[in-house]
Amino acid sequence: MLKISELNKTYGKKQVLFDINLEINKGEFVGLIGNNGAGKTTLIKSIFGEIGLDSGSVTLNGEDVYKSGAISKMSFFPDSNSLRLNINLIEYLDYISSLNGIENRKVKIDKIIELLKLTPYVNKKLNQLSAGWKKRAIMAFCLINNPEIIIFDEPTANLDIDSKIEFLRIIRFINDMGITVVVTTHLIEELQNNINHLVILENGKIIYDDKFNIETESIKEIYSRKNNVEEIDLNELQGLFK
């Protein structure tokens, strides 16, 4: 279980995260949503120790992720696919696996390449891959250390429709294998049929945190209700064109 307790973060005089308390259980598929500036990226950076905390703690299975090394059991999928490295995909996977001390790394790499259908691209340089295949390459890097949890930041950004459908299917499959998944996105329709836990972050505060039933609940309705979203008066809009 990933547990975030009383997490606060301030940049200069502006507080951007306020008393964040969140528990993510093993095997969950979590949708983390919120407007631009809500604090999603800051929260992710806090979890991975990229920025210092004013207060609070982050633990994985009861271990402090920073002090115990438990952070090595987590992977982060960034919102950018700008891989500029002038190195072949297979070489980089071998490099990443050696850094993580993976035993039998050739076997592990071969399995990941097969899973993500990367075989035709193993000898391609990372900076030569298309947006969709770069994302699969990043996914391969995320899987190489046998993570318990992967946090995805806008994973389908800049993908065409077919690539989005396939990539979401891959994420779903990874979750079905038992890996905990957290996805941040502005495209709530991509989450509607996948998540079982919904978290809404607004102005640095968690305003909603609960289990989610894809059969009986609507992310759009929950979000609109919690944020008091005002709907456009369509009758008035129609009047403009009479």
The domain that contains 88 carries what CATH number?
3.40.50.300
Is residue 235 a part of any domain in this protein?
no
Give the per-residue pLDDT at 150.
96
Residues in the chain predicted with pLDDT less than 70, given as ranges, are 80-84, 229-234, 236-240, 242
> Structure tokens of 22?
């969140």
Is residue 234 a part of any domain in this protein?
no
Burial group, residue 97, by CB count within 10 angstroms (0-12, 13-18, 19+): buried
> Structure tokens of 96?
């990443």
Is residue 225 a part of any domain in this protein?
no
Model pTM score: 0.89
Give the per-residue pLDDT at 229.
64
Give the per-residue pLDDT at 7.
94
Distance CA 161, CA 21 (A): 35
Q: Residue 173 sits in which domain range?
A: 2-216
pLDDT tens, position by position, 181-201? 999 987 888 899 999 999 999
Structural domains of the chain, count: 1
Distance CA 44, CA 6 (A): 15
Give the per-residue pLDDT at 78.
86
Give the per-residue pLDDT at 218.
94
Give the per-residue pLDDT at 24.
97
Distance CA 21, CA 5 (A): 5
Give the per-residue pLDDT at 127.
85
Is residue 233 a part of any domain in this protein?
no
Is residue 120 a part of any domain in this protein?
yes
Give the per-residue pLDDT at 82.
61
Burial group, residue 45, by CB count within 10 angstroms (0-12, 13-18, 19+): middle
